[in-house]
Chains A and B, each alone.
Chain A
Amino acid sequence: MTTTTTAHTSSTINAFADGRQPLVEMRDISIAFGGIKAVDHASLELYKGEVVALLGHNGAGKSTLIKILSGAYQRDHGDIYIRGEKASIDNPRDAKRYGIETIYQTLALADNVDAAANLFLGRELRTAWGTLDDVAMEAATREVMGRLNPNFRRFKEPVKKLSGGQRQSVAIARAIHFNANILIMDEPTAALGPQETQQVADLTLELKKQGIGIFLISHDIHDVFDLADRVAVMKNGRIVGTARVEDVSKDEVLGMIILGKCPPGAIPGPGALSS
Chain B
Amino acid sequence: MTQSTETRSEPALAQEGVVTRFLRATEIDTRLLGMVGALILISVCFHFAGILRTGNGVFLSPRNLWILLVQTSSIAVMTTGMVLIIVMRHIDLSVGSLLGVIAVIMGYAQVYVLGPWLGVGHPAIWIITILIGLSAGALLGGFHGYLIAYAGIPSFIVTLGGLIVWRGAAWAIIRGETVAPMDETFELLGGGPLDASIKATGSWILGIIVCVVIVLALYFGRKSRQKFNFPLRPMWAETFLGIVGCGITLGTVLLVNSYYFPPKLANEYAERYNIPIPEDGFLLSKGFAIPVLIAAAAAIVMTFVATRTRFGRYVYAIGGNPEAAELAGINTKRITLIMFSIMGVLAAISACISSARLNAASNALGQFDELYVIAATVIGGTSLAGGVGTIYGAILGALVMQSLQSGMTLLNFDSAYKDMAVGSVLVFAVWLDQIYRRRAN
Contact A117 B313 (CB under 8 A): yes
Q: Does A102 contact B (CB under 8 A)?
A: yes
Q: Which residues of B contact A121 (CB under 8 A)?
A: 313, 317, 324-325, 328, 330
Contact with A along B298-337 (1 / 0, CB 8 A): 0000001001111001001111110111111110000000
Contact B329 A93 (CB under 8 A): yes
Q: Which residues of B contact A149 (CB under 8 A)?
A: none
Contact B325 A102 (CB under 8 A): no
Q: Does B2 contact A (CB under 8 A)?
A: yes
Contact B310 A124 (CB under 8 A): yes
Contact A135 B327 (CB under 8 A): no
Task: From B6, B7, B228, B318, give the contact of A138 (CB < 8 A).
Answer: B228
Q: Which residues of A contact B310 (CB under 8 A)?
A: 124, 126, 132
Name the residue among A72, A113, A124 with the largest chain B CB count within 10 angstroms.
A113
Contact B7 A153 (CB under 8 A): yes
Contact B317 A131 (CB under 8 A): no
Report Cα–Cα, A122/B328, bound state, in Å: 6
Q: Which residues of B contact A93 (CB under 8 A)?
A: 329
Q: Does B230 contact A (CB under 8 A)?
A: yes
Query: B235: shortest Cβ distance to chain A, in Å?
Result: 19
Name the residue among B321, B323, B387, B388 with the largest chain A CB count within 10 angstroms.
B321
Query: A154: shortest Cβ distance to chain B, in Å?
Result: 5
Contact with B along A145-178 (1 / 0, CB 8 A): 0000000011011100100000000000000000
Q: Does A112 contact B (CB under 8 A)?
A: yes
With known contacts A96-B329, A113-B317, A132–B309 Cβ distance under 8 A: yes
Q: Does B424 contact A (CB under 8 A)?
A: no
Q: Does B225 contact A (CB under 8 A)?
A: yes
Q: Which residues of A contact B324 (CB under 8 A)?
A: 106-110, 121
Report Cα–Cα, A110/B388, bound state, in Å: 12
Contact B228 A111 (CB under 8 A): no
Query: B303: shortest Cβ distance to chain A, in Å?
Result: 12
- Of all chain B residues, the one with the shortest Cβ separation from A140 is B228
Q: Which residues of B contact A108 (CB under 8 A)?
A: 321, 323-324, 327-328
Task: From B225, B228, B329, give the contact of A122 (CB < 8 A).
Answer: B329
Q: Which residues of B contact A112 (CB under 8 A)?
A: 316-317, 319-321, 387-388
Contact with A along B212-242 (1 / 0, CB 8 A): 0000000000001101101000000000000
Q: Does B4 contact A (CB under 8 A)?
A: yes
With known contacts A113-B320, A121-B324, A135–B225 Cβ distance under 8 A: yes
Q: Does A92 contact B (CB under 8 A)?
A: yes
- Of all chain A residues, the one with the shortest Cβ separation from B319 is A112
Contact B6 A153 (CB under 8 A): yes
Contact A92 B316 (CB under 8 A): no
Interface residues of B in 244-268 (CB under 8 A from A): none
- A-B contacts, 9 listed (Cβ < 8 Å): A72-B326, A93-B329, A110-B328, A111-B321, A111-B387, A121-B313, A122-B330, A126-B310, A138-B230
Known interface pairs A112-B388, A138-B230; 16 further A-B residue pairs with C-beta atoms within 8 A, sorted by A's residue number = A70-B327, A91-B329, A92-B326, A106-B324, A110-B318, A113-B313, A121-B317, A121-B328, A122-B325, A122-B330, A124-B313, A130-B309, A135-B227, A138-B228, A153-B6, A156-B5
Query: What 7 A-B pairs have minimum CB-CB distances, sorted nearest first?
Result: A112-B320, A112-B387, A110-B320, A93-B329, A122-B328, A108-B324, A110-B317
A residues whose Cβ falls under 8 Å from a Cβ of B = 70, 72, 91-93, 96, 102, 104, 106-113, 117, 121-124, 126, 130-132, 135-136, 138-139, 153-154, 156-158, 161
B residues whose Cβ falls under 8 Å from a Cβ of A = 2, 4-7, 224-225, 227-228, 230, 304, 307-310, 313, 316-321, 323-330, 387-388
